[in-house]
C-alpha cells in the first residue's frame, strides 16, 4: 500500500507542496512560531480555503500561502493590540493579517505576542 493516506486526510505540508520554496520556508517558520507560542494549539489544513488553521477553544489564526508571500491571519484581528502597526486587512472585515515575503521578515517577538493574545481573547 505504500505511503497512501486515508481519504480526506490532508496535511499542512501537503497544502504547501505546490508553492515556491521561499513561500514554503516562510510558512514553515510561521508554523513553528505558532506552535511554540501556543504549545497546546491544534493545527489543521483546509485545502478548500488553502489555509492552515489554528485553534484552542476557538479558531483564532491561520497561515495563508500566496504565490509570492505568506499571510499570518487572525480571525478576530480587529480586537488585537497592534502598537507596531503590523496588521493589515479589509475595513469591513474583522480579520486582520501580517504579510511576509521571507522568513527573515518575521519580527519573532512581536508576532509571538500577537499569536498569544489572539489565542486567549476572542
Q: For 22-42, what is the mean pLDDT?
A: 98
How many CB atoms sit inside 10 A of residue 16's CB? Answer: 22
End-to-end CA distance of the chain: 44
Given a cut of 70, whether residue 7 has pLDDT beyond it is no
Q: Which residue has the cell 505504500?
A: 2
Contacts of 2 (CB under 8 A, 6+ apart): none
Alpha carbon distance 52, 91 (integer Å): 23
Please tell me the number of Cα atoms within 13 Å of 119 on its side-chain side.
21
Given a cut of 60, whether residue 4 has pLDDT beyond it is no
What the chain holds in terms of domains, given with CATH numbers, is: 12-120 (3.90.1150.200)
Give percent above pLDDT 70 in the chain. Answer: 93
> Angle at CA 48, nearest 5°, toward 43 and 49?
65
Contact 29, 42 (CB under 8 A): no
Q: Which residue has the cell 475595513?
A: 91
Give percent above pLDDT 90 in the chain. Answer: 87
Average pLDDT, the chain: 93
pLDDT the model gives residue 2: 43
The residue count of the chain comes to: 122
Amino acid at each position: 500500500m505504500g505511503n497512501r493516506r486515508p481519504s480526506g486526510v490532508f496535511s499542512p505540508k501537503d497544502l504547501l507542496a505546490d508553492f515556491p520554496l521561499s513561500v514554503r520556508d516562510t510558512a514553515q517558520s510561521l508554523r513553528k512560531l505558532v506552535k511554540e507560542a501556543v504549545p497546546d494549539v491544534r493545527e489543521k489544513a483546509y485545502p478548500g480555503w488553502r489555509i492552515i488553521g489554528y485553534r484552542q477553544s476557538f479558531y483564532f489564526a491561520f497561515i495563508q500561502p500566496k504565490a509570492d508571500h505568506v499571510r499570518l491571519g487572525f480571525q478576530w484581528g480587529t480586537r488585537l493590540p497592534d502598537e507596531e502597526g503590523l496588521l493589515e486587512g479589509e475595513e469591513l472585515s474583522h480579520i486582520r493579517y501580517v504579510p511576509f515575503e521571507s522568513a527573515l521578515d518575521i519580527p519573532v517577538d512581536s508576532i509571538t505576542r500577537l499569536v498569544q493574545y489572539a489565542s486567549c481573547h476572542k
